[in-house]
Amino acid sequence: MKMRAAVLEEFGKPLSVQEVDLEEPRAGEVLVRLEACGVCHTDLYTASGADPSGYAPAVLGHEGAGVVEAVGEDVGSLSPGDHVVTLFSPQCRECVHCLDPRTNLCLAIREEQGKGHLPDGTSRLSRDGEPIRHFMGTSTFAEYTVMPEIALARIDPEAPLDRACLFACGLSTGLGAAMYTAKVAQGSTCVVFGAGMVGLGAVAGCALQGAGRIICVDLSEGRLEMAREQGATDLLEADENTVERILEMTGGFGADYTFEATGLVGVMQQAVESARMGWGLCTIAGVAGKGETLDIIPRWLITGRRVAGSSFGGVKGRDQVPELIDRYMAGEINVDPFLSHELTLDEVNRGFELMEAQDGIRSVIHFN
Ligand SMILES: NC(=O)c1ccc[n+]([C@@H]2O[C@H](COP(=O)([O-])OP(=O)(O)OC[C@H]3O[C@@H](n4cnc5c(N)ncnc54)[C@H](O)[C@@H]3O)[C@@H](O)[C@H]2O)c1
Ligand SMILES: [Zn+2]
Ligand SMILES: [Zn+2]
């Protein structure tokens, strides 16, 4: 079939919205008609050429939500009409990682996904017979996508898809960092560094876990106000004394849980140093630049602090994204403030500009 999609032709150049060909889903694959897709930093990072593992031409986009149009052979868990959220982090439910509660890093299709292929090593996307690669296994800056069944989460059909799509990446990453990676205990003190989509999600996740105190740190007053809306009890404008101020606020000890959601290694260091002696757990969700390293004085660790990384918030996508969306539908997660701009597919590059200007939390593309 023919469809419109935003193609990364050349790094550092605007995406080109154009007509491309999409093949039918093969065995284990599903055709999804996209309704909405968020614009995320990872799309921009790849489009800019900064990501050394990036490739072109490719159809970008990974924060998608839509409706199943057709399924290939051997697809048992989805049928036409189902509402789905796309998962760049799949869940096959069979590999050694999927069977272990300690991780969400499914091993099933990593290699081919990383090369821009579907699991059988080929692409369903093309133009004039020349293949175009899939991005993150999702390619959701498009009217339709073909994806593996194991990378789609079936959600409540009542959930508005322009909200649901935020659970495909940033929001679930933040919520999950608090709920599944750190497993924040009731009554505890938490610090969240960064109040973008991921940090605000972490604030909301700490609140859902019943944290007693949630300190949020950011450079932007406006974003800190959004953190308050999500349950932050204390707001800190970041400066060179951030760690000292947090220690002062916590009786000299630091917080039970800290979260880093900026991608800056200097802030990661602050997050480690703000974690409490004895048992403080620092969870790192930000993605640092290629080649950057994190400096930790070993004594911080010997004296009982721990550091954890969190990819997609530790969320096992097919099981837990629907659960998070159910909690949103039950009124426990306030998603509306994150939706800052509504765009058409043709305006996708405007989404990048808004993100670079830090204008709003998320721009969402609507397809119709
Ligand atoms: N682990 C994952 O699976 C995953 C998924 C999505 C995004 N990410 C990463 O998470 C990070 C955050 O993503 P986002 O979409 O929320 O980004 P964002 O740019 O919207 O938010 C980052 C925030 O950090 C704030 N900040 C900058 N310097 C600071 C400082 N010194 N102290 C405190 N705050 C500071 C900024 O003001 C901004 O509000 C990025 O690195 C992104 O790549 C990781
Ligand atoms: Zn993302
Ligand atoms: Zn798996």
pTM passes above 0.85: yes
Measured from the CB, is residue 230 less than 6 Å from ligand 1?
no
One digit per residue, pLDDT tens: the chain, 368 residues? 999 999 999 999 999 999 999 999 999 999 999 999 999 999 999 999 988 889 999 999 999 999 999 999 999 999 999 999 999 999 999 999 999 999 999 999 989 999 999 999 999 999 999 999 999 999 999 999 999 999 999 999 999 999 999 999 999 999 999 999 999 999 999 999 999 999 999 999 999 999 999 999 999 999 999 999 999 999 999 999 999 999 999 999 999 999 999 999 999 999 999 999 999 999 999 999 889 999 999 999 999 999 999 999 999 999 999 999 999 999 999 999 999 999 999 999 999 999 999 999 999 999 98
Measured from the CB, is residue 287 less than 6 Å from ligand 1?
yes
Give the atom of ligand 1 at the shortest distance from the alpha carbon of 310. 1
Q: What pLDDT sits at residue 352?
A: 97
Angle value at C-alpha 331, between 175 and 41, nearest 5 degrees: 35
Q: What pLDDT sits at residue 12?
A: 94
* Candidate from 41, 203, 259, 311 with most ligand 1 atoms within 8 A of CB, to mutate: 41
Measured from the CB, is residue 173 less than 6 Å from ligand 1?
yes
Report how far ligand 1's centroid is from the alpha carbon of 55 (Å).
Answer: 24
Report how far ligand 1's centroid is from the alpha carbon of 196 (Å).
Answer: 6
Ramachandran region, residue 258 (left: φ > 0; alpha: ψ -120 to 50; beta: rest): beta
Report how far ligand 2's centroid is from the alpha carbon of 354 (Å).
Answer: 15
Q: What pLDDT sits at residue 290?
A: 85
Report how far ligand 2's centroid is from the alpha carbon of 45 (Å).
Answer: 10
Measured from the CB, is residue 50 less than 6 Å from ligand 1?
no
Ligand nearest, relative to CA of residue 51? 1
What is the C-alpha separation between 62 and 147, in angstroms, rounded?
11
Query: Closest Cα to atom 16, ligand 1: which residue?
Result: 196
Measured from the CB, is residue 200 less than 6 Å from ligand 1?
no
Measured from the CB, is residue 305 less than 6 Å from ligand 1?
no
Q: What pLDDT sits at residue 226?
A: 98
Report how far ligand 3's centroid is from the alpha carbon of 154 (Å).
Answer: 17
- For the annotated catalytic residues, the residue numbers are 40-42, 62-63, 92, 95, 98, 106, 110, 169, 362
Q: Tell me the C-alpha to C-alpha distance, in Å, between residue 83 and each of 125, 157, 167, 322.
A: 22, 5, 13, 10
Q: What pLDDT sits at residue 157?
A: 98
Measured from the CB, is residue 194 less than 6 Å from ligand 1?
yes
Which two three-digit tokens encode residue 226?
A: 């959004």
Q: What pLDDT sits at residue 191?
A: 98
Query: Closest Cα to atom 20, ligand 1: which residue?
Result: 196
Query: Closest Cα to atom 6, ligand 1: which residue?
Result: 170
* Candidate from 39, 218, 244, 320 with most ligand 1 atoms within 8 A of CB, to mutate: 218
Q: What pLDDT sits at residue 53?
A: 87
Q: What pLDDT sits at residue 51?
A: 86
Measured from the CB, is residue 38 less than 6 Å from ligand 1?
no
